[in-house]
A and B are shown apart, each in its own frame.
Chain A
């Protein structure tokens, strides 16, 4: 009997997809390796709900900036507006400022759950995907900034992602640089645009003398020592200089940590003019890239949560990694007759076999390299 195919009814809404066995397993294995690596650094798992009242999801802090990204609907019970989560960071921010407000700090949390968003982007067409990440809730300090950046790379490495780049940026510094040169008001947006798109043509066309200096920072962007040197050449106010020093400390700490970890092949770069997507962050941020994928694969940084607390964290987008995750190792499989005892099956499993029990009318599946026949393990001849 062949199953009937009703093609139109199996089509899913754009941005939603089925992960079939090979892919689903690959994702699951990678997430497990990621969580194990973070668990070993003291991060504790939380699992917030799929949907919440929207006023909680869109509260101040991270949530306030992302309202237009959510699927929203009315709760039939309370008649209040609800939303599907589009970002787990906003939920963590709610948890740590309410239920876990009194939990001892520093608080290390991790998560790995699906999110749903209303609008896909050009590079990322999935509207449902798994978000995995960690957060440290503590006072603002360099140690947690460093740890969260290192943890993101340890996690990606554990998942088998190669050719990584971590790109540091600092929105606060960018604004202070503009302030140092007296750029305010409407003018500021024009400058932010020019710097964000690295538009050296527009910069060179500006009458202001310092536009050349900013253009030279763009050319020097990348290698941390070069970028820091270029930033130090600018005439900045004290506050901005402090931020540069902070970036320098973090990038140096990061490079030496990666050396310790044997992860020297990870590239660390600095782009002080990067603003892409960093709306709610208050401290140093970073974006994660791999040469294997055509869009960023994750990001992190410091932000404020409700009640005057500070947190830093990172999040990785599993939709970006699905195609490049290493294929799960195939465990050897064996076919056993229906009369084989469950005790025997258990024994085979402890020997490392995946056991396929016979079902009447079906032959041994192809993936079974061996057959359990007369208490003996023999090769599957088919």
Chain B
């Protein structure tokens, strides 16, 4: 038996917020239960033990999950396919679609101009959290996209005259509506993926594959 396969703990990075609620039942189905502190909103801890002695959970921002796993800080993670496409890390495998966290990445514009065809433009100014994905999408259509990177509240940017369009996550569309914006088209449909670190997959293959298989099984049963 290889000493390093049981040597240190596997770290599982999961995002805060909406996706977490959908993820917990899946984890429970493959017998992963975080310690009580994990559910305590007042806890300042970032790293939590689980009922499995060789598995710890860290809770980080959705965008940071991919980075943590790509750099080997965590061996496993749950990440939206939007983040994977934005960063395009080559040190990650994405073996499972967890079928949670469904939403779409869409272009939206103020109601008054939402009907204007994008194809007629050679240049467009867009506020987004996803500059690479957005630029790539428009480049494929021969449109020069100038992206203004914002980290939140992009819905306000068109009204303030910063940009004509935004590219953002849409699930119900109510935020868009409230800001007089309308969805023009969808860039990509999104769901959460299990990602694993390439080195960990090679050096601790048995344990990692065991984890993936367990999760796949609980997905199939859910």
Contact = CB atoms under 8 A, between A and B. Distances in A.
Contact of B203 (A123, A165, A200, A276): A165
Interface string B192-222: 0100111101111110010011001000000
A222 B71 contact: no
A163 B4 contact: yes
A221 interface: yes
Contacts of A341: none
Interface string A187-212: 00000000001111110000000000
A269 B205 contact: yes
B209 A294 contact: no
B93 interface: yes
B27 interface: no
Interface in A154-194: 162-163, 165, 167
Interface stretch (B84-92, B104-112, B165-173): B84-92
Interface residues of A, number: 30
B52 to A, nearest CB: 19
Given A222-B205, A223-B205, A291-B204, A265 B2 contact: yes
B203 to A, nearest CB: 5
Interface string A251-280: 000000000000001010101000010000
Nearest to B201: A198
Contact of A165 (B94, B96, B97, B202): B202
A91 interface: no
Contacts of A269: 202, 205
B46 interface: no
B70 A122 contact: yes
**Most central of A197, A289, A290 by chain B CB within 10 Å:** A197
A295 B201 CA distance: 11
B7 interface: yes
Contacts, number: 79
B72 interface: yes
A111 to B, nearest CB: 26
Contacts of B97: 201-202
Given A219-B209, A265-B3, A295-B91, A290 B203 contact: yes
Interface string B136-149: 00000000000000
Q: Bin the interface of chain B by size.
A: 20 to 34
B25 interface: no
B17 interface: no
A197 B93 contact: yes
A293 interface: yes
A289 B197 CA distance: 13
Contacts of B95: 198-201, 218
A160 B92 CA distance: 28
A199 B94 contact: yes
A287 B2 CA distance: 18
**Most central of B7, B91, B198, B213 by chain A CB within 10 Å:** B198
Nearest to A163: B4
Interface string A45-85: 00000000000000000000000000000000000000000
Nearest to A199: B94
A126 interface: no
B71 A167 contact: no
B202 A287 contact: yes
B205 A221 contact: yes
A276 B199 CA distance: 12
A272 to B, nearest CB: 13
B202 A271 contact: yes
A280 B120 CA distance: 42
A29 interface: no
A248 interface: no
Given A222-B206, A294-B72, A122 B4 contact: no
Nearest to B73: A294
A167 B202 CA distance: 7
Contacts of A222: 205-206, 209
A293 B202 contact: no
A39 B123 CA distance: 61
Nearest to A271: B202
A163 B91 CA distance: 20
A289 B70 CA distance: 15
A136 to B, nearest CB: 25
Contacts of A201: 94-97, 193
Interface string A210-229: 00000000110111000000
Interface string B102-138: 0000000000000000000000000000000000000
A269 B202 CA distance: 7
A188 to B, nearest CB: 19
Given A122-B90, A269-B205, 20 more contacts: A122-B71, A122-B91, A123-B91, A163-B7, A165-B203, A197-B92, A197-B93, A198-B93, A198-B196, A199-B93, A200-B95, A200-B96, A201-B95, A219-B209, A219-B212, A222-B209, A265-B2, A276-B198, A291-B203, A294-B199
13 contacts: A122-B71, A123-B71, A163-B203, A197-B92, A198-B196, A223-B206, A265-B2, A267-B2, A269-B205, A289-B199, A291-B4, A291-B203, A294-B197
- Nearest 6 pairs between A and B by C-beta? A294-B72, A201-B97, A222-B205, A163-B4, A291-B4, A198-B93
